[in-house]
């Protein structure tokens, strides 16, 4: 009983966190004048919010033994499966698009400013939803028909016929996990190389600190030159190493969070579909499903609140709500509100 209570509490806490965090990030983005720069982050928050409103409560009903008496019809099970696959696909595809967009922020900023228009962003959002709906429809093609009913815990892809189930899970894993993972790893590796090159090239040692402009035999002058060499040269190398280490840590956190949330989910379903004699339902499926659902609560922190502009805007809104005077440090100017600058500074 204690285990069930703890599990139910964790699921409710994740759902509430996803609701609050995504709403906060969406409000901040919609209030900023540079909405175009954050349109895909805002779309990710929309997907996460829809999942927190519709999908995660249904997941609580399907996962907790407190709702064992809840019975779904086949039509209701199809609706649950539709929401599950559609929102998962939309979330992962949006994260992939955000990674590509960040690549252009940093590596090709001029090309991004020219080509990144509202029309292109809307086209990208439409592509994400069309692809997600098509994948979901493919999952429902061979599902059983009729007016039967089942326990809510059985509303899973494994209720479909065996051959179709294997084909779908393999296709779903390739299109919604393997390919996006390759894109994310390739893109963030390129961003890291750019950040590392920038950290190695910044702040060269001033010429006057390395060598004197003219020979001077005075003791005071030579002491000044030696002091400058001793103090400045050792300081530059740790700064460069620190910037490189921060870039590595940031990219490891972003990619690691994605893999930790989604790798167990897709690995479990691939193994359960391909392996002979295994059953995909039960406690194992519930655990990996909620590890994946935790992504809906974590995404607004990794893709929203880690951004300097969004954090400062959140602080400004909080202070305005408390009727406190706003400090000068929280007043954003258009010139410093560049997303590519924020993310590059964050990496460095």
Per-residue pLDDT tens digits for 245-270: 666 777 788 899 999 999 999 999 88
Dihedral sign computed on CA atoms, order 59, 64, 67, 69: positive
Q: Which residues pair with 74 in a beta bridge?
A: none
Of 346, 129, 111, which is closest to residue 250 (Cα–Cα)? 346
Tokens encoding 53:
């409103």
Of 171, 158, 160, 155, which is closest to residue 81 (Cα–Cα)? 155
246 vs 106: CA distance, rounded Å: 16
Instruction: Read off the CATH number of the domain in which 123 is found.
Output: 1.20.1070.10
In a domain, 297, yes or no: yes
pLDDT of amino acid 245: 64
In a domain, 238, yes or no: no
In a domain, 330, yes or no: no
Give the mean model confidence (pLDDT) for residues 313-330: 65
Query: How many separate domains does the chain show?
Result: 1
Which domain range does residue 261 map to?
A: 1-145+159-201+243-314
- pLDDT confidence of 223, banded at 50, 70, 90? very low
297 vs 20: CA distance, rounded Å: 9
In a domain, 304, yes or no: yes
Of 262, 255, 283, 300, which is closest to residue 16 (Cα–Cα)? 300
- Residue 248 neighbours by CB distance under 10 Å: 14
In a domain, 153, yes or no: no
Tokens encoding 29:
């983005």
Q: Which residue has the higher pLDDT, 72 or 61?
A: 61
96 vs 168: CA distance, rounded Å: 21
91 vs 85: CA distance, rounded Å: 10
pLDDT of amino acid 43: 94
Dihedral sign computed on CA atoms, order 96, 268, 160, 174: positive
Angle between the N-to-C axes of helices 219-274 and 179-201, in degrees from 0 to 180, rounded to the nearest 10: 180
In a domain, 340, yes or no: no
Give the mean model confidence (pLDDT) for residues 114-139: 89
In a domain, 230, yes or no: no
Per-residue pLDDT tens digits for 193-221: 887 777 777 655 444 444 444 444 444 44
Mind spelling out the 3-state secondary structure of the chain? CHHHHHHHHHHHHHHHHHHHHHHHHHHHHHHCCCHHHHHHHHHHHHHHHHHHHHHHHHHHHHHCHHHCCCEEEHHHHHHHHHHHHHHHHHHHHHHHHHHHHHHHHHHCHHHHHHHCCHHHHHHHHHHHHHHHHHHHHHHHCCCCCCCCEEEHHHCCHHHCCHHHHHHHHHHHHHHHHHHHHHHHHHHHHHHHHHHHHHHHHCCCCCHHHHCCCCCCCCHHHHHHHHHHHHHHHHHHHHHHHHHHHHHHHHHHHHHHHHHHHHHHHHHHHHHHHHCCCCCCCCHHHHHHHHHHHHHHHHHHHHHHHCCHHHHHHHHHHHHHHCCCCCCHHHCCCHHHCCHHHHHHHHHC
pLDDT of amino acid 288: 92
Tokens encoding 191:
């961003």
Q: Are 337 and 307 in contact (CB under 8 A)?
A: no
**Most confident residue range from 4-8, 19-23, 63-67, 188-192:** 19-23
- pLDDT confidence of 336, banded at 50, 70, 90? very low
149 vs 162: CA distance, rounded Å: 20
Q: Are 121 and 244 in contact (CB under 8 A)?
A: no
In a domain, 276, yes or no: yes
Per-residue pLDDT tens digits for 97-109: 999 988 888 888 8
Q: Are 57 and 15 in contact (CB under 8 A)?
A: yes
The set of residues, in sequence order, having a beta carbon less than 8 Å from that of 323 and lying 6+ positions away, is none
Give the mean model confidence (pLDDT) for residues 290-295: 94
């Amino acid at each position: 009983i204690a285990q069930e209570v703890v599990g139910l509490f964790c699921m409710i806490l994740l759902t509430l966190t996803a609701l609050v965090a995504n709403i906060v990030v969406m409000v901040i983005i919609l209030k900023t004048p540079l909405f175009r720069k954050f349109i895909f982050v805002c779309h990710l928050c929309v997907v996460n919010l829809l999942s927190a409103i519709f999908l995660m409560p249904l997941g609580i009903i399907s996962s907790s033994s407190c709702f064992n008496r809840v019975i779904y019809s086949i039509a209701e099970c199809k609706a649950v499966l539709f929401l599950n696959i559609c929102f998962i696909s939309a979330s992962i595809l949006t994260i992939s698009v955000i990674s590509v967009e960040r690549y252009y922020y940093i590596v090709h900023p001029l090309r991004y400013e020219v080509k990144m228009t509202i029309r292109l962003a809307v086209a990208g959002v439409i592509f994400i939803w069309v692809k997600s709906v098509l994948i979901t429809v493919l999952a429902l093609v061979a599902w059983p028909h009729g007016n039967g009913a089942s326990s809510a815990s059985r509303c899973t892809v494994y209720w479909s016929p065996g051959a179709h189930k294997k084909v779908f899970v393999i296709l779903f894993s390739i299109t919604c996990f393997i390919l996006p993972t390759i894109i994310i790893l390739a893109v963030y590796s390129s961003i890291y190389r750019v950040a590392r090159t920038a950290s190695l090239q910044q702040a060269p040692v001033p010429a006057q600190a390395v060598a004197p402009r003219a020979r001077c035999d005075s003791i005071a002058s030579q002491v000044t030159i030696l002091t400058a060499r001793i103090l400045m040269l050792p300081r530059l190398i740790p700064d460069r190493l620190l910037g490189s280490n921060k870039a590595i840590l940031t990219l490891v956190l972003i990619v690691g969070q994605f893999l930790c949330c989604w790798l167990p989910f897709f690995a479990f379903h691939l193994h359960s579909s391909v392996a002979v004699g295994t059953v995909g339902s039960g406690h194992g499926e519930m655990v990996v499903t909620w590890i994946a659902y935790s992504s809906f609560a974590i995404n607004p922190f990794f893709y929203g609140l880690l951004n300097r502009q969004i954090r400062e805007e959140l602080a400004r809104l909080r202070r305005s709500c408390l009727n406190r005077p706003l400090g000068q440090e929280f007043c954003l100017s258009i010139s410093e509100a560049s997303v590519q600058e924020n993310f590059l500074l964050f990496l460095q």
